[in-house]
Amino acid sequence: MSVLVFSLIHMVRGDPVRLALGTRYSQETYDALRERSGLDLPLVQQYLTWAGRAVTGDLGVSFRSGDTVTSLIGERLPATLTLALAALVVALVIALPLGMLSALHPRSLIDRVATVVSQIGISVPDFWLSIMLILLFAGVLGWLPSGGYVPLTEDPLGWLQRLVLPAIAVGVVSGSVITRFVRSSMLEALGQDHVRTAQAKGVPTRQVLTWHVLRNALLPLVTVTGVQLAYLLSGVVVVEIVFSWPGLGQLAYQAVRDRDFPVLQGSVLLFALVFLVINLLVDLLYSRIDPRIARR
Amino acid sequence: MTAPLLEVEDLRVDLRTPRGTAHVVNGLSYTVGPGETVAVVGESGSGKSVSVLALLGLLPERTATVTGRALLQGEDLLTMAPERLRRVRGPGVGMVFQDPMTSLNPVLTVGRQLTEGLRAHGPVSKAAARARAVELLGEVGLPDPGRAVDRYPHELSGGMRQRVVIAMALANSPALLVADEATTALDVTVQAQIIDLVERLQAEQGTGVIWITHDLGVVAGIADRVLVMYGGRCVEDGTVDDVLERPVHPYTRGLLGALPDLATADDADLATIPGTPPAPTDLPAGCVFWPRCPVRGDARCETEQPPLAVVGAGGGELPHRAATWCAEGEAS
């Protein structure tokens, strides 16, 4: 994994040292900086040095700013986490009611509308949606700021105002995907024999839906929500740039532009780690939901 | 005769399918008295299960059309308001389903599924419901009910699960118990245990029982009356003695292996009825059994539907009836 990250990044054309120095520099400065950054060493050796430090939590120093990569990531992580979680909330708020209603009334008007809407939601590129949202809510209506970020602790209202649009832009796509899954897994759960058994016991409908339908539909849902959360965390890059949201996506983007290898490697590695952690969490959650997995 | 517990009149169920309307139950009428056991026998696809699911409104609303009347203690189940019907499910009619592997919720404990039924019909404390659940599990012969109550269905064997399903149906001491192939999955000793339990309930509480099965051995053992279904119709009914000892309808006789085997007289193997039941989307115009009937002793068999008429010397309170044109001439 880390080998892949490393080699892919180093295949990018462009010399980070040259970019860092600007247009006027002497050959000596160039060589000195190259040597200090370790870029004059063979690639394999560069990798081993980097990987060796990475396992101890030292991801190196930015070519550009001279800050440690861990501190740069640490600064940006809360913003991205906030945005991803807010987007997940948006996604679930859309997906759960819409998917459930569709499953309870298949082929009804609401089901058809939900299908069309979620199809559109899946197809729309998030950057385009971001721009449209900015045009409408920040431009025409002027209700919300077009971007930026203020910490929650300084200005809660401003924080919320700036969070809404990017969260919607990111959340709509995931919400559409999850809607589909809610519908299909609910339909599957509804058709199971034990639902009929529960009805035959005279259990009230609401209870049948919660404990016998939803409870069983949850399993596939947790999986897809986990995948979507991982996507949200890493997939916010474009939206962060559009909304000038100071998150990891923006950091990674700047790192690519500046050929700031350590920062780029660090962020990509972090994204990979996030995927792993989320998958692990999903697996752990599984055993909480499904006793057939837990007690084996 | 006391007022019947359940009175089904001209029950018809149509299901919409991609291949057209399936006439699954076609004019079924029968009664079940308190403490009485009516066995419904027939092949798979004869409409046995659907006819009882229809009573409790458990068929998919979008595709099923149910007509007729089904009076449970005088109240029509088929026109009942949903909330009233919910209250009947359980204490009014308890239902045991066929497949123990799928009729339990895999993510809830056995105890949770039992107490849920108890608590849906009145204020019962958690502790009391749990105690009752343990008691019920013991009654259906589950070993170590105190521990079984906290288990998940996948931790139990098929036979144990079936007993849990039975316990759930008995939980609210139903006036009518519907058992759809309830003991088919169980071995003979457990089967006998369950039958004993049901008979005790009948004696103690006057529970009426509809026992759907294709096990004629069980029928002979427990039933007061037998109803033979074929192609969604009742083709023969009467007391267990009449139907099992003196079957009239060619189908019943085929089912009992009582038909003389004309084609291969020396073949002593198990008697079978050749062919398959008619597709409910495409029922024959005349007698439903005509396409497979070895007798066909009347010109009307192919074109005209035989009515369910009293046959033999029976009569009285429990008449022996059969829907066939061939009753007089062929009855042995």
Looking at the fold, whether B125 and B210 belong to one and the same domain comes out as no
Signed CA dihedral, A112, A114, A117, A118: sign only: negative
- C-alpha pair distances (Å), A253 with each of A25, A152, A261, B310: 26, 24, 11, 88
Of B95, B102, B171, the CB nearest to A194: B102
A52 and B CB contact within 8 Å: no
First and final CA of chain A: distance in angstroms? Answer: 31
Residue B253 falls inside a structural domain: yes
Q: How far apart are CA A1 and CA A272, in angstroms?
A: 8
**pLDDT for the residue B159:** 82
Phi, psi of B68 (to 5 degrees): 110, -165
Q: What CATH number is associated with residue B234?
A: 3.40.50.300
- Contact across the interface for B105 and A199, Cβ inside 8 Å: no
Nearest CA in chain A to B109: A291
Last residue of a domain, one of B275, B300, B315: B275
Helices (H), chain B: 48-55, 82-88, 110-119, 126-139, 145-148, 158-170, 188-205, 216-222, 240-245, 250-255, 327-330
Nearest C-alpha of chain A: how many angstroms from B176?
A: 13
Given a contact cutoff of 8 angstroms between Cβ atoms, the answer to whether B286 and B267 are in contact is no
Given a contact cutoff of 8 angstroms between Cβ atoms, the answer to whether B233 and B245 are in contact is no
For residue A46, give the nearest of A261, A271, A255, A257 by alpha carbon: A261
pLDDT class of B330 with cuts at 50, 70, 90: very low
Token readout for A68 is 């440690």
Q: Compute the mean pLDDT over every residue in chain B, rounded to the nearest whole number.
A: 85
Looking at the fold, whether A39 and A133 belong to one and the same domain comes out as no
**pLDDT for the residue A140:** 82
Nearest C-alpha of chain A: how many angstroms from B193?
A: 23
- Contact across the interface for A211 and B105, Cβ inside 8 Å: yes
**pLDDT for the residue B332:** 39
Residue B309 falls inside a structural domain: no
Domain tally, chain A: 2
- Contact across the interface for A292 and B108, Cβ inside 8 Å: no
Looking at the fold, whether A16 and A138 belong to one and the same domain comes out as no
**pLDDT for the residue B266:** 54
Nearest CA in chain B to A107: B62
- C-alpha pair distances (Å), B106 with each of A289, B50, B190: 11, 24, 23
For residue B251, how many other CB atoms are within 10 A of its CB?
30
B154 and A CB contact within 8 Å: yes
Residue B280 falls inside a structural domain: no
B104 and A CB contact within 8 Å: yes
pLDDT class of B130 with cuts at 50, 70, 90: very high
Looking at the fold, whether B185 and B50 belong to one and the same domain comes out as yes
Residue B284 falls inside a structural domain: no
**Which chain B residues are closer than 8 Å to A212 by Cβ?**
105, 108
Q: What is the value of ipTM here, to two decimals?
A: 0.83
pLDDT class of A12 with cuts at 50, 70, 90: low
Of B58, B87, B108, the CB nearest to A200: B58
Looking at the fold, whether A131 and A37 belong to one and the same domain comes out as no
Nearest CA in chain B to A213: B105
- Contact across the interface for B120 and A199, Cβ inside 8 Å: no
Looking at the fold, whether B27 and B86 belong to one and the same domain comes out as yes
Q: What CATH number is associated with residue A166?
A: 1.10.3720.10
Domain tally, chain B: 2
Average pLDDT over residues A124-135: 84
Average pLDDT over residues A169-192: 89
- Residue whose pair of structure tokens reads 């189940």 in the numeric block: B77
Residue B186 falls inside a structural domain: yes
Average pLDDT over residues B141-167: 89
Looking at the fold, whether A247 and A114 belong to one and the same domain comes out as yes
Of B292 and B312, which is predicted with more confidence?
Answer: B292
Looking at the fold, whether B75 and B182 belong to one and the same domain comes out as yes
Residue A63 falls inside a structural domain: no
Looking at the fold, whether B87 and B1 belong to one and the same domain comes out as yes
Residue B315 falls inside a structural domain: no
A197 and B CB contact within 8 Å: yes
Last residue of a domain, one of B224, B255, B275: B275
Looking at the fold, whether A42 and A76 belong to one and the same domain comes out as no
Nearest CA in chain A to B89: A202
pLDDT class of B178 with cuts at 50, 70, 90: very high
**Which chain B residues are closer than 8 Å to A104 by Cβ?**
none
Token readout for B231 is 């192609």
Looking at the fold, whether B233 and B146 belong to one and the same domain comes out as no
Under 8 Å CB-to-CB from A123, ≥6 apart: which residues? Answer: none
pLDDT class of B331 with cuts at 50, 70, 90: very low
Looking at the fold, whether B180 and B43 belong to one and the same domain comes out as yes
B220 and A CB contact within 8 Å: no
Q: Which range, of A248-252, B168-172, B290-294, B295-299, averages the lowest pLDDT?
A: B295-299
Given a contact cutoff of 8 angstroms between Cβ atoms, the answer to whether A230 and A274 are in contact is yes
B107 and A CB contact within 8 Å: yes
Q: Which range, of A238-247, B105-114, B255-264, averages the lowest pLDDT?
A: B255-264
Residue B35 falls inside a structural domain: yes
For residue range A165-174, list pLDDT tens digits in order.
888 888 888 8
Write the DSSP assignment of B36-54 as a string of letters: -EEEEE--TTSSHHHHHHH
For B164, the domain range is: 105-171
Under 8 Å CB-to-CB from A25, ≥6 apart: which residues? Answer: none
Q: Which range, of A20-24, A188-192, B247-251, B309-313, averages the lowest pLDDT?
A: A20-24
Of A201, A205, A292, the CB nearest to B116: A201
Of A201, A216, A290, the CB nearest to B120: A201
Looking at the fold, whether B182 and B271 belong to one and the same domain comes out as yes
Looking at the fold, whether B17 and B87 belong to one and the same domain comes out as yes
A201 and B CB contact within 8 Å: yes
Looking at the fold, whether B115 and B255 belong to one and the same domain comes out as no
The strand pairing partners of B30, in sequence order, are B8
Residues composing chain B? 332
For A141, the domain range is: 69-294
Of A204, A205, A211, the CB nearest to B108: A211
Looking at the fold, whether A32 and A77 belong to one and the same domain comes out as no
pLDDT class of A13 with cuts at 50, 70, 90: low
Average pLDDT over residues B39-49: 86
Looking at the fold, whether B130 and B180 belong to one and the same domain comes out as no
**Which chain B residues are closer than 8 Å to A192 by Cβ?**
102
Residue A282 falls inside a structural domain: yes
Q: Which range, of A171-180, B110-119, B288-297, averages the lowest pLDDT?
A: B288-297
Does position B253 have pLDDT exceeding 60, yes or no?
yes
**Which chain A residues are closer than 8 Å to B87 by Cβ?**
202
Token readout for B31 is 């009664």
For residue range A71-122, list pLDDT tens digits in order.
888 888 888 888 888 999 999 999 988 998 898 888 888 889 888 988 888 8
Percent of chain A residues topping a pLDDT of 70? 91
Does position B264 have pLDDT exceeding 60, yes or no?
no
3-state SS, A120-175, equals HHHHCCHHHHHHHHHHHHHHHCCCCCCCCCCCCCCCHHHHHHHHHHHHHHHHHHHH
- Contact across the interface for B89 and A192, Cβ inside 8 Å: no
**In whole angstroms, what separates CA B220 from the centre of its chain?**
15
**Which chain B residues are closer than 8 Å to A205 by Cβ?**
82, 86
Looking at the fold, whether A40 and A75 belong to one and the same domain comes out as no
Would you tell me which residues 62-121 of chain A have a C-beta closer than 8 angstroms to some C-beta of chain B? none
Looking at the fold, whether B141 and B220 belong to one and the same domain comes out as no
Q: How far apart are CA A2 and CA A43, in angstroms?
A: 14
Q: How many helices (H) and strands (E) does chain B have?
A: 11, 12
Size of interface A-B (CB pairs under 8 A): 88
Does position A19 have pLDDT exceeding 70, yes or no?
no
Last residue of a domain, one of B125, B152, B171: B171
Residue B51 falls inside a structural domain: yes
Looking at the fold, whether A28 and A123 belong to one and the same domain comes out as no
Looking at the fold, whether A104 and A226 belong to one and the same domain comes out as yes
Residue A233 falls inside a structural domain: yes
Looking at the fold, whether A21 and A134 belong to one and the same domain comes out as no
**pLDDT for the residue A283:** 86
Q: How far apart are CA A229 and CA B188, in angstroms?
A: 53
Looking at the fold, whether A188 and A90 belong to one and the same domain comes out as yes
Q: Which range, of A63-67, A183-187, B93-97, B145-149, averages the lowest pLDDT?
A: A63-67
Looking at the fold, whether A90 and A44 belong to one and the same domain comes out as no
